[in-house]
Amino acid sequence: MAKRIQISQHGGPEVMQAIDFDPADPLAGEVQIENKAIGINYIDTYVRSGLYPASLPSGLGSEAAGIVRRVGPGVTVLKPGDRVVYAQATLGAYSEVHNVAVERVALLPDAISFEQAAASFLKGLTVYYLLRQTYVVQPDERFLFHAAAGGVGLIACQWAKALGAHLIGTVGSAEKAQRAKDAGAWATINYREENIAERVSELTQGKKLRVVYDSVGKDTWEASLDCLQRRGLMVSFGNASGPVTGVDLAILNQKGSLYVTRPSLYGYITTRDALTQASNELFSLLASGAIKVDVPESQKFALVDARQAHQALESRVTQGSSLLIP
């Protein structure tokens, strides 16, 4: 028997229940992983709340690091005992044991701990596709990245610095501004006290930006568009304040023939080769120290305390990554 977190209805953190279950044998093309550290991501709250519908009852979570315990028929690239990390798995990573399709699993170098991996893999792959594929950020380029002190944002700050680019990050407090700057943000904007578009203009001597990365959604939609130069690209990749709905496409014309994309990791990392390429670049930056992921002890929760973890995440009191520890 093993323990996992399950929801039988959509709603707030209170709908999550810790239950015992008997793990199934891994199917063909799957490996069974004993999780050592589990990544908590904002998308998990979307599944729990019903913003991203799931068939009920459902597990939660898609990212963790651990040890391969068993392999299913036909699996040759991994073996029992391998240290691994995975993301994009079928829902259910909030668990002591999870069966995962082998194309979602990467070998974890010894230089990277389970906690580092679980805290950075999905977020790091997200930053990889955003900065390296959706739009290829260039050295010395200035761009806007919302929620710069969040889990994805702090990795983006460090990755941008490694690329020699200038990330302007929005934050909600002076403490978070300092955290983003310490991670490598070129400049920060406190959205609670400053007008985002006006501050961008001040920082760039009146020049607008080629690209804005926005995971906040509804609350920052128009401000993001106002920061873009003619034919600039709005990358809307999250809904932390609620989804962007009812968009009048004419606004894109009025603000300068703008482009908008709504990407996700699932549209970019679609094969094991793509996962290997992305994870190798991420692991190289982690191993070199160019990207550091330090999870405060206050943001490490026991698996059975998943409710408290979601409450902390949604109250925006967390900074960077949080983990569940089985």
Among 210, 228, 263, where does a domain finish?
263
Enclosing domain of residue 42: 2-120+269-325
Are 216 and 184 members of one domain?
yes
Residue 167 is assigned to a structural domain of this protein: yes
Residue 132 is assigned to a structural domain of this protein: no
Are 307 and 253 members of one domain?
no
Among 215, 235, 263, where does a domain finish?
263
pLDDT at 316: 77
Are 70 and 144 members of one domain?
no
Residue 128 is assigned to a structural domain of this protein: no
CA 233 to CA 261: how far, in whole Å? 8
pLDDT at 326: 96
Least confident of 107-121, 129-143, 189-203, 238-252: 238-252
pLDDT at 304: 97
Residue 129 is assigned to a structural domain of this protein: no
Residue 131 is assigned to a structural domain of this protein: no
Are 113 and 159 members of one domain?
no
Are 293 and 315 members of one domain?
yes
Taking 90 as the threshold, does the pLDDT of residue 279 lie above it? yes
Are 76 and 149 members of one domain?
no
pLDDT tens for 302-323 read: 999 999 999 999 987 787 789 9
The enclosing domain of 182 has a CATH number of 3.40.50.720
Are 185 and 300 members of one domain?
no
pLDDT tens for 101-113 read: 999 999 999 999 9
User: Packing angle between helix 114-129 and helix 151-163, nearest 10 degrees?
Assistant: 70
19 strand-pairing partners = 4
Residue 114 is assigned to a structural domain of this protein: yes
pLDDT at 207: 95
**Taking Cα atoms as reference points, which of 319, 280, 314, 315 lies closest to residue 299?**
319
The enclosing domain of 60 has a CATH number of 3.90.180.10
Are 57 and 170 members of one domain?
no
CA 114 to CA 118: how far, in whole Å? 6
Are 283 and 303 members of one domain?
yes
Among 232, 263, 294, where does a domain finish?
263
Could you tell me if 134 and 156 are in contact, meaning their C-beta atoms sit under 8 angstroms apart?
A: no
pLDDT at 225: 97
Are 245 and 309 members of one domain?
no
Taking 80 as the threshold, does the pLDDT of residue 10 lie above it? yes
pLDDT tens for 14-32 read: 999 999 999 999 999 999 9
Band of the pLDDT at 238, cuts 50, 70, 90? Answer: confident
Taking 80 as the threshold, does the pLDDT of residue 86 lie above it? yes
Residue 204 is assigned to a structural domain of this protein: yes
Are 143 and 259 members of one domain?
yes
Degrees (nearest 5) of the Cα angle 37, 63, 58?
110
Number of independent structural domains in the chain:
2
pTM of the model: 0.88
Residue 102 is assigned to a structural domain of this protein: yes
